[in-house]
Structure 1
Amino acid sequence: MTVVNEASIDLPDFSDPATFADQVPHEAFDQVRSMSGLYWQPTEYGTLREGFWLATRFADIVAVEAKSQEVTCKQGFNFPLNILSESPEQAEFNSHMLMRKDPPDHGRMRRVAAAAFGPRVVARFDGWIRDIVNEALDSALAKPEFDWVVEVGKYIPSRVVARVLGVADDRIEDVVDWTDAVFAVSSEADAGAKQSEAAQALYMYCAELQQAKLRAPDDDVATALAQAVERGDLNDTEFLTFIGLLLVAGYETTHTLINHSMRLIVENDEIRKYAGDALEEGTVDRLVDEFLRYITPAMNMARIATTDFEIAGTTIRKDDMIQLMFVAANRDPAVFSRPHEFDPHRPETATLTFGSGPHRCLGSALAKLELRILFEQLAERGVKLELNGEPKRGWSAWINQLHSLPVRVV
């Protein structure tokens, strides 16, 4: 297939993690978004057709995600496609993962756990999440300088997701290590093999967790899913992949959100003022929504065409990959006024940070609550931090990672 892109001579390679090493390439996304149709990115690995279509407009992404018959996640949901490097045994195992399911099977699995992550249920977590946030701040702020990512960004979401799922305290650091290993290699050509290796230990622990929850049930998601297996609503492999997904995704997205939010605050006085004003005015939820839009922790997801169809005037062929660039759509001027400005007072509040359609993220309410409580507790302590060194971004074309944020208390 030969695809000619208009005015693309100065565009970077969107399949290369180096393109995202210093910052998200928003100027390049602006150029792509201004083109007619979708943009074709050639690549030598990771797809079925030596390249993928880049969807950067809000409406185009919503339209693709609504096409439950024309696109699939079964072959993978991010670039590079895992299925290209999986053994037959690995492919069979991973086919039971929620993110690799299409409707209606996806809905069957999702309904088993969805109730545990609804806004009304999550609101009842406020007290014990506040305790976890204060534990992190007590430890971090006792030091005159520290790495925000290590002391706060990792601590809070790892303890929260562990509590929700029922992970023992002495295994939390293992979960963090496994998750970091998975996402550290997520954009390499041989990512599938490395991710599988990193995930193996995680799934072994999930199997232990399943048996432990059947022996001693508790009020947590792992118990609910283990009992769903006993009822026949899930099979054993679906349990393992579901718990593994919730552990990894529940940690990484919020981890990235917490890290970049503080980076924006310590680097930008206007954003620091916005944060302070929101706390005084009681509009922290709007502030959190704007951080989510502006940062977009999971920058993209992918879909594979199951048949030929047209989107935005572009003919998509069977087996084509469409890269849904949420991070670009959240800066779409057709939806957001002054899209590159941080403005928690903006009237446009619907974003694609958590996706749309049947695959919209289960944990959105939990991530928002964690960041809101963190801001509230920082304000209660009257804490001000400033940058104390060079922040270090991750090496990923998928997750908007921040690996280090040195700060000092002032």
Structure 2
Amino acid sequence: MGIHEKMDVEFPDLTDPRSFVEAVPHEAFARMRALPGLYWQPTNLGTANGGFWAVTRFADILAVEKDTDAFTSTRGGSYPGMNQSPEVAGMSADNLMMTDPPRHSHLRRAAAKGFGPRVVANFEPWVRDIVNDVLDRLETLDEFDYVEEVARTVPARVVARVLGTPREDEDQLVKWALMTFEALQETVNLPEGTHMIRGLHKVMMEVMPYAEKIQKIKREHPADDMFTELGACVDRGELTQSEFFNWMFLMMVAGFETTHTAIGQSMRMYLENPTVAERTERAIREGIASRAVDEFVRMISPPMEMARTATRDMDFAGEKIRKDDVMVLYFTSANRDAAVFKNPDEFDPWRTETDTLAFGSGVHRCIGAYLANLELRVLWEEIHKRKIKLELNGTPKRGWSVFINQITALPVRRVAS
């Protein structure tokens, strides 16, 4: 049996959302990490060579993300949106997620300065105002869906504030973000070997006129927000109109979904596991809420994976990699790699190993990582300060995705503190 045909029936089908719908298959990923090489997942969806390599070890993912010459993002940034035709890839050429240096560096510079740790630290007062406004509403509710009332609402309002969109448009931003991630999971009736992301382009066509409208408003009435800053970059000739739109679309979608997932899943972990709850409360009392947030994000890994395409034949991690092979980088596995983390399945805000792959690494490390962590930290601090006590009021509902570790419903009720 050739290297590209080997299979292991003990492993779940990583291309099937059903493999993730109950929970992330962490035991299977642990077995993959123990293999002498990489696990080959056969599939014709989103691949050129009949499958993809599951890259599950921390060190291997670092190596792939570091070598942008050998492993490109231009054919797609996450599975199943890979092996895109030149025509489709060309439509996304101005998207930061689908570029390599030096073009990637040019695009990233346009907004990176607005998301550094010192700048984001200045966001804390208004982020805390948003969180408290959301929590004020909870005071009037005895039973509610935590995802709907908190996990969706907080990041939607934060993203709207960063971008500079009107408050009345927040629901529409959420709708577009959710539609985008649903489109990225399209797996039905696609030509063999491809992923057309037809639904994604439909969403983008809806968003584009909105972006142009806001851009015009900000040109006439500038403000301290990203729409104004990115529009100014266009006016100065630093970005094209297409690059402006792709930047706005990326921040709107990615800035919402990853934080939305982390907020919902962190509360689920807190409510389902008394040890997690006790350690979270103790960390907040000790003034290290940010360390608890880091642990939540490590264990949740909101984007479970990203992906790259091999640009040439090569030897890597004990395997013969062929040109056009898809490499799916499972952050959700690497963040529980025992070669890096002591007791990796344990929630430990006091652990000394704090570098994770929850936001990726290298040139493509998530530009909004500091803002996402700020939102979670402030939320948990304010929940603790208000002594808000919740308990499950039904079964949490997970999303249907091989990409995002989604939670779509978390029914809870208030209990006396």
TM-score (norm 1): 0.96
Distance 2:360 2:138 in 1: 33
**How far apart are the structure 1 equivalents of 2:22 and 2:407?**
11
2:20 corresponding residue in structure 1 = 20
Q: Is the 8 A contact 1:113 1:225 kept in 2?
A: yes
- How far off is 1:186 after superposition? 2.6
Match among 144, 147, 154 for residue 146 of structure 1: 144
The match for 2:398 is: 393
Pick from 329, 332, 338 the counterpart of residue 333 of structure 1: 338
User: Superposed, which structure 2 residues align to 1:2-401 within 5 Å?
Assistant: 2-3=2-3, 8-81=8-81, 84=84, 88=87, 91-189=89-187, 190=190, 192-401=197-406
**1:177-223 alpha-carbon deviations (Å, 9 max, x no partner):** 01111112432325601122123212221222222221211111111
User: Per-residue displacement from partner, 1:135-194 (whole Å, max 9, x unpaired)?
Assistant: 111112310010000000000001001101111111111110011111124323256011
Amino acid at match of 2:261: T
Letter in 2 for 1:313: G
Deviation at 1:7, TM superposition (A): 7.5
Q: Give the conservation status (yes or no) of the 8 Å contact 2:47–2:83.
A: no
1:316-341 superposed Cα distances (whole Å, 9 cap, x missing partner): 11111000000000000000011111
Shift of 1:82: 5.5
Q: Does the residue aligned with 1:76 lie in a helix, a strand or coil?
A: coil
User: Aligned partners of 2:161, 2:404: CA distance in 1, in Å?
Assistant: 24
CA contact 1:186–1:396 (8 Å) conserved in 2: no
CA contact (8 A) 1:141 1:409 kept: no
**What RMSD over aligned residues (CA atoms) do the two structures have, in Å?**
1.6
Count of matched residue positions in the alignment of Structure 1 and Structure 2? 408
Task: Check 1:85–1:187 CA distance in 2 against 1; reply closer, same or farther (3 A cut).
Answer: farther
Contact map agreement 1:297 1:353 (CA 8 A) in 2:
yes
Asked if 1 retains the 8 angstrom alpha-carbon contact of 2:313 and 2:320, the reply is yes
Contact 1:261 1:291 (8 Å CA) reproduced: yes
SS of the equivalent of 2:134 reads helix
Q: 1:56 to 1:35 in 2, by over 3 A?
A: same
Aligned partners of 1:203 and 1:241 also within 8 Å: no
Q: Secondary structure at the match of 1:289?
A: helix
SS class of match (2:233)? helix
1:119-141: CA deviations, max 9, x gaps? Answer: 11111111111110011111123
For the structure 1 residues 152 and 162, does the alpha-carbon distance in structure 2 shift closer, same or farther, using more than 3 Å as the test?
Answer: same
Q: Give the Cα separation in 1 of the matches to 2:53 and 2:107.
A: 29
Gaps of 5+ in 1: none
How does the TM-score come out when normalised to structure 2? Answer: 0.95
- The Cα shift of 1:5 comes to 7.1
The letter for the 1-side match of 2:41 is Q
Tell me the amino acid that sits aligned with residue 103 of structure 1.
P
**Cα deviation code 1:87-127 (max 9, x no counterpart):** x3x54331111111110010011011001001111111111
Secondary structure of the residue that 1:253 maps to in structure 2?
helix
Q: Which amino acid aligns with 2:79?
A: F
SS in 2 for 1:286: helix
SS at match of 2:3: coil
Q: Which amino acid aligns with 1:134?
A: N
CA contact under 8 A between 2:208 and 2:245: conserved in structure 1?
A: yes
Which of structure 1's runs of 4+ aligned residues deviate more than 2 A? 1-7, 81-86, 90-93, 184-188
CA distance in 2, matches of 1:380, 1:39: 46
Contact 2:82 2:326 in 1 (8 A): no
Letter of the structure 2 residue corresponding to residue 179 of structure 1: A
| Partner SS for 2:346 | coil
Cα distance in 2 for partners of 1:2, 1:227 equals: 54
String of CA shifts for 1:56-106, please: whole Å, max 9, x gaps.
0000000000111111111111112366479x3x54331111111110010
Within 2, Cα distance between the matches of 1:7 and 1:98? 34
State the alpha-carbon separation in 2 of the partners of residues 139 and 200 from structure 1: 34
Q: Give 3-state SS (helix, strand or coil) of 1:22's partner.
A: coil
- Counterpart amino acid of 2:346? E
